[in-house]
A and B are shown apart, each in its own frame.
Chain A
């Protein structure tokens, strides 16, 4: 079924968030959103390097790419792809190149939103 991908995306995307919620609620350390995001991007890079993240992307689509671990996966695959193409220099260029659209969108829209709106209260 073609629509199964939506169910799979829901389950995997939801479960990744549940992992983060449990980390925040059950650990004695103060786990802030910054720690969660850093942990997920780093975890995504490492799982991707071990070849474990691509199967998840194949199975769950956006359920694996929308969470920030998917950003880490893109970084890792971009950097590895860079090495394949250009050698050592590619390790410096490939990761950011693969994630350039997301980074630029976040900076541009983030900047514009911060200018256009006032915080509530």
Chain B
């Protein structure tokens, strides 16, 4: 054990160790992140397109088929989040699993599950909106402003 290196000051040993760790640790490179975000985001969209075509083939008009598609995707995402599968996908998919509406559903279920111990009202009920709350606030306010501007300047 008593190699020469061990006699170096602790500071230097620490620095060398950190350097070693940095070299060995696999870096999730930007390229890899972008690749998986593209693939997973694309595939979730294709899944949505499959449902959209299916509901239209069943006779639904486009807006209704779109609403049905969102409903099914949200259901699947809630289920997969509950089963712990969605978070496994999110680990490598990054934004590919965040941006689709399935990511929105995931952002509701995950904290609600986590904080269930704080009760149904302040645990589940409140935490469902940790991310969905801000999304609805900014989405609804911006859409309202757009509509009011349209009313005055159309």
The answer for the CA separation of A40 and B102 in the assembled complex, in Å, is 14
Asked whether A6 lies within 8 Å of B46 as measured between CB atoms, the reply is: yes
Could you say which residues of chain A place their CB within 8 Å of the CB of B139? 38, 41-42, 44-45, 71-72, 75, 95
The answer for the CA separation of A38 and B113 in the assembled complex, in Å, is 22
The answer for the CA separation of A87 and B44 in the assembled complex, in Å, is 37
A38 CB to closest chain B CB, in angstroms? Answer: 5
Asked whether B113 lies within 8 Å of A66 as measured between CB atoms, the reply is: no
Q: Mark B62-73, 1 if CB is under 8 A from A, else 0.
A: 010011111101
The answer for the CA separation of A107 and B110 in the assembled complex, in Å, is 13
Asked whether B48 lies within 8 Å of A45 as measured between CB atoms, the reply is: no
Chain B residue with Cβ nearest A118: B113
Asked whether B45 lies within 8 Å of A14 as measured between CB atoms, the reply is: yes
The answer for the CA separation of A12 and B75 in the assembled complex, in Å, is 23
Asked whether B150 lies within 8 Å of A67 as measured between CB atoms, the reply is: no
Interface size on A, residues (CB 8 A): 79
Could you say which residues of chain B place their CB within 8 Å of the CB of A42? 138-139, 142
- A interface: dominant SS: helix
The answer for the CA separation of A20 and B94 in the assembled complex, in Å, is 9
The answer for the CA separation of A83 and B81 in the assembled complex, in Å, is 38
Asked whether A18 lies within 8 Å of B34 as measured between CB atoms, the reply is: yes
Is B13 interfacial (CB-CB < 8 Å)? no
Asked whether A111 lies within 8 Å of B101 as measured between CB atoms, the reply is: no
Q: Mark A45-65, 1 if CB is under 8 A from B, else 0.
A: 110110000000000111101
A50 CB to closest chain B CB, in angstroms? Answer: 9
Asked whether A102 lies within 8 Å of B49 as measured between CB atoms, the reply is: no
* 117-144 of chain B: CB within 8 A of chain A: 124-125, 128, 130-132, 134-136, 138-140, 142-144
Is B89 interfacial (CB-CB < 8 Å)? no
Could you say which residues of chain B place their CB within 8 Å of the CB of A102? 67, 70-71, 74, 101
Residue of A21, A22, A45, A112 touching B96 (CB-CB under 8 A): A21
